[in-house]
């Protein structure tokens, strides 16, 4: 996918920015928010090209022939700064934010804009967030700061209030479904199920399509665990082989569905519609209070897996498996 491609469900959001871009009256800060898999980074990249290209067309499509476009293609444009954590799972630090002041104090090399892409914004530690807030309170001229966030609620309210927000969580479902169907290699795939499992995020749904067999194996291992047909350590080993992060996400989804069914007694509220019958049948084995406890534990394990380099996935999954057995009533 080329960075200038516009994903079809992005069109309404893209159109909202074009009058300001054409009039060269862009806001000083944009916050692109939404769950993972909505294509926020792709949208930001297209906007960066539209702003820095020397001859974009009326819809913001870059020419791809000017010097600025060649520099963007080579990731060497001097007026663009991509700010991310120094390592995956780490925080964006205050020194990284302070360095922005030096970058924005320079004259733009091509006389247009400075553009800064900061993602994920929720990775900023407290000091970094406070330093960014100072920059937003006195925004430098001809500079656009683009924040990407999967969890905007984790940002300081004062940061959110100083950004023009674009919400990616409400795509046109018919548009995203049609796109997903065109991308799926298997005509028998179920786009509605895939989108439902991934909060209607088309890119995440497309990735999920290749994981459905592994998800089914993880579910069967979970059933064997609950029925005490398989040892917790063996089940943990299966989940580990299928991928620790993926297994945790699937377990969280099944736990949420058990809670939904307890709350509503309506099978239609479940997200895992293909596993609906089994989830409803086992829900009676867990009290809601214990399911909430399981949910919290699994969320904590997921965060630990994301943020710690010393965590042992095998031990983590063994803890999860044993906890499920302990909470069966």
Supply the CATH number for residue 287's domain: 1.20.272.10
Task: Please name every residue paired with 143 in a beta bridge, in sequence order, or none if there are none.
Answer: 114
Q: Assess whether the previous peptide bond of 318 is cis (omega < 30° from 0).
A: no
State how far the Cα of 141 lies from the Cα of 146, in Å rounded to an integer.
Answer: 15
pLDDT per position as a tens digit, 188-216: 678 999 999 999 999 999 999 999 999 99
Residue 182 lies in a domain: no
Q: Which residue has the higher pLDDT, 109 or 19?
A: 19
Residue 120 lies in a domain: yes
- Looking at residue 3, its pLDDT comes to 77
Helix (H) or strand (E) holding 166: strand 164-167
Look-up: residue for tokens 């080329």?
2
Q: Positive or negative CA dihedral for 87, 91, 97, 99?
A: negative
Q: What pLDDT band is residue 313 in, cutting at 50, 70 and 90?
A: very high
State how far the Cα of 77 lies from the Cα of 61, in Å rounded to an integer.
Answer: 18
Share of the chain above pLDDT 90, in %: 81
* Tokens at 250, concatenated: 């699937």
Decide which of 114, 137, 170 is a domain's last residue. 170
Q: Which residue has the higher pLDDT, 307 or 192?
A: 192
Look up the CATH number of the domain holding residue 112: 3.40.50.300
- Identify whether residues 40 and 91 lie together within a single domain: yes
Burial class (CB in 10 A: 0-12, 13-18, 19+), 111: exposed
Domain count across the chain: 2
- Identify whether residues 133 and 278 lie together within a single domain: no
Decide which of 155, 170, 185 is a domain's last residue. 170
Distance (Å) of CA 213 to CA 3, 135, 139, 269, 316: 31, 48, 50, 23, 23
* Residue ranges making up the domain that contains 151: 8-170
Residue 267 lies in a domain: yes
- Identify whether residues 163 and 215 lie together within a single domain: no
- Looking at residue 188, its pLDDT comes to 64
- Identify whether residues 129 and 223 lie together within a single domain: no
Please check the confidence at residue 107 and state whether its pLDDT lies above 90: no
- Looking at residue 187, its pLDDT comes to 63
Burial class (CB in 10 A: 0-12, 13-18, 19+), 327: middle
- Looking at residue 106, its pLDDT comes to 78
- Looking at residue 105, its pLDDT comes to 79
- Identify whether residues 119 and 217 lie together within a single domain: no
Average pLDDT over residues 8-37: 95
Residue 18 lies in a domain: yes
Q: What is the DSSP string of 109-136?
A: TTSS-EEEEE-SGGGB-HHHHHHHHHHH
| Per-residue exposure over 72-101, b if at least 16 CB sit within 10 Å of its own CB, e if not | beeeebebbbebeeeeeeebbbbebbeebe
End-to-end CA distance of the chain: 50
Residue 72 lies in a domain: yes
Residue 115 lies in a domain: yes
- Identify whether residues 154 and 239 lie together within a single domain: no
Contact yes or no for 9/175 (Cβ under 8 A): yes
Distant-in-sequence, close-in-space partners of 292: CB < 8 Å, separation ≥ 6: 259
Residue 273 lies in a domain: yes
Contact yes or no for 223/239 (Cβ under 8 A): no
Q: What is the mean pLDDT of the chain?
A: 92
- Identify whether residues 166 and 276 lie together within a single domain: no
Helix (H) or strand (E) holding 307: helix 288-307
- Identify whether residues 233 and 143 lie together within a single domain: no
Q: What pLDDT band is residue 111 in, cutting at 50, 70 and 90?
A: low
Residue 99 lies in a domain: yes
Please check the confidence at residue 315 and state whether its pLDDT lies above 80: yes
Please check the confidence at residue 168 and state whether its pLDDT lies above 70: yes
Average pLDDT over residues 283-303: 93
Look-up: residue for tokens 């080579």?
74
- Identify whether residues 70 and 135 lie together within a single domain: yes
- Identify whether residues 234 and 98 lie together within a single domain: no
Please check the confidence at residue 182 and state whether its pLDDT lies above 80: yes
Please check the confidence at residue 310 and state whether its pLDDT lies above 90: no
Decide which of 113, 138, 170 is a domain's last residue. 170
- Identify whether residues 140 and 279 lie together within a single domain: no
Q: Which residue has the higher pLDDT, 110 or 163?
A: 163
Please check the confidence at residue 180 and state whether its pLDDT lies above 70: yes
Residue 186's φ and ψ, nearest 5 degrees, are: -105, 115
Q: Positive or negative CA dihedral for 31, 80, 22, 9?
A: negative
Burial class (CB in 10 A: 0-12, 13-18, 19+), 6: middle
pTM, two decimals, is 0.89
Average pLDDT over residues 110-139: 91
Task: Please name every residue paired with 33 in a beta bridge, in sequence order, or none if there are none.
Answer: 149, 167
Q: What pLDDT band is residue 113 in, cutting at 50, 70 and 90?
A: confident
Q: Which residue has the higher pLDDT, 188 or 41?
A: 41
- Identify whether residues 151 and 217 lie together within a single domain: no
Distant-in-sequence, close-in-space partners of 132: CB < 8 Å, separation ≥ 6: 97, 100, 118, 124, 159
- Looking at residue 216, its pLDDT comes to 97
């Amino acid at each position: 996918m080329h960075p200038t491609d516009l994903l079809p469900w992005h069109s309404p959001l893209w159109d909202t920015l074009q009058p300001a871009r054409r009039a060269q009256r862009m806001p000083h800060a944009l916050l692109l928010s939404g769950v993972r898999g909505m294509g926020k980074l792709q949208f930001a990249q297209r906007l960066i090209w539209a702003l820095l290209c020397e001859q974009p067309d009326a819809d913001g499509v870059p020419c791809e022939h000017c010097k600025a476009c060649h520099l963007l293609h080579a990731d060497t444009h001097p007026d663009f700064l991509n700010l991310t954590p120094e390592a995956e799972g780490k925080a964006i630090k205050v020194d990284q934010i302070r360095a922005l002041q030096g970058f924005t104090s320079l004259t733009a090399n091509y006389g247009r804009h400075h553009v800064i892409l900061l993602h994920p914004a929720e990775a900023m530690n407290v000091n970094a967030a406070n330093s960014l807030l100072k920059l937003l309170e006195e925004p430098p001229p001809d500079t656009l700061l683009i924040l990407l966030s999967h969890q905007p609620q984790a940002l300081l309210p004062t940061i959110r209030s100083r950004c023009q927000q674009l919400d990616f969580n409400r795509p046109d479902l018919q548009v995203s479904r049609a796109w997903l169907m065109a991308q799926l290699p298997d005509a028998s795939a179920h786009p509605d199920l895939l989108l439902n499992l991934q909060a209607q995020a088309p890119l995440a749904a497309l990735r999920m399509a290749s994981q459905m067999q592994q998800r089914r194996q993880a579910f069967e291992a979970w059933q064997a665990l609950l029925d005490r047909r398989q040892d917790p350590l063996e089940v943990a080993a299966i989940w580990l082989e299928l991928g620790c992060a993926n297994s945790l996400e699937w377990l969280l989804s099944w736990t949420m569905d058990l809670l939904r069914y307890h709350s509503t007694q309506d099978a239609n509220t479940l997200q895992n519609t293909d596993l609906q019958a089994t989830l409803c049948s086992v829900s009676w084995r867990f009290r809601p209070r214990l399911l909430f406890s399981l949910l919290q534990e699994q969320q904590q394990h997921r965060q630990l897996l994301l943020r710690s380099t010393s965590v042992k996935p095998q031990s983590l999954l063994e803890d999860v498996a044993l906890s499920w057995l302990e909470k069966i009533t």
